[in-house]
Chains A and B, each alone.
Chain A
Amino acid sequence: DIQMTQSPSSLSASVGDRVTITCRASQNIYSYLNWYQQKPGTAPKLVMYIASSIQNGVPSTFSGSGSGTDFTLTISSLQPEDFATYYCQQTYTTPPTFGGGTKVEIK
């Protein structure tokens, strides 16, 4: 199985800050990397797919980049509704695997 490693596991930031989360795959997954946002007590929400395609309804402050084994999710100006846990997921091979998550907390 492909291992997905996210960093950091948590971070504290303020409203308006630029935040970057990284995800590394244990082998080449080309661009088959997706990002999810999850708030407590709710299901995950797809925010970015195939590395850099933003899902409908997601603010343009979100962006994704990377290919191969290294990927990033960036929030250019953190908003109050962005505080959540973010997971990356590779879908290049079966089983699709998730990273361990990055919790974005209010500083």
Chain B
Amino acid sequence: QVPLVQSGAEVKKPGASVTVSCKASEYIFTKFYIHWVRQGPGLGLEWLGVSNPSGGGTTYAEKFLGRITMTRDTSTSTVYMELGSLRFDDTAVYYCAKDFNSNFPSYGLDVWGQGTTVTVSS
């Protein structure tokens, strides 16, 4: 069983919203935080935020406050990341990733989804 499975590629217009899903195993969903990280074309890694699927708490990067929302569906062990007011520079591969120890400070991200390509194009 693949631990984290993400939804498929999306193409959106500027100003629209996109929702990316990340289906986790029940074990991961109930015990570990899930982070979201993105990577623009040819660029490095950028952290978007983290959610505690079992408890529902979230922390977002300040850069995205006001246009990012992370939610969860406990019935399907799925975490969602919605990014709104899309701009051209939101074009990136978006990854969900499991926290190693779900404690603070974290020991890093030890299991990653396959990535979801989001293209913002007019």
Contacts and interface: CB of A to CB of B under 8 A. Distances in A.
A101 B46 CA distance: 12
Contact of B100 (A46, A98, A99): A46
Interface stretch (B12-20, B79-87, B111-119): B111-119
A100 B44 contact: yes
Interface residues on B, range: 20 to 34
B115 A43 contact: yes
Given A43-B114, A46-B100, A95-B62, A89 B108 contact: yes
A55 B110 contact: yes
Q: What secondary structure prevails in chain A residues at the interface with B?
A: loop
Contact of A97 (B47, B105, B107): B47
Given A89-B45, A101-B44, 17 more contacts: A34-B108, A36-B45, A43-B112, A43-B113, A43-B115, A44-B45, A44-B95, A44-B109, A45-B112, A55-B110, A87-B44, A89-B108, A91-B107, A95-B47, A95-B61, A96-B35, A96-B106
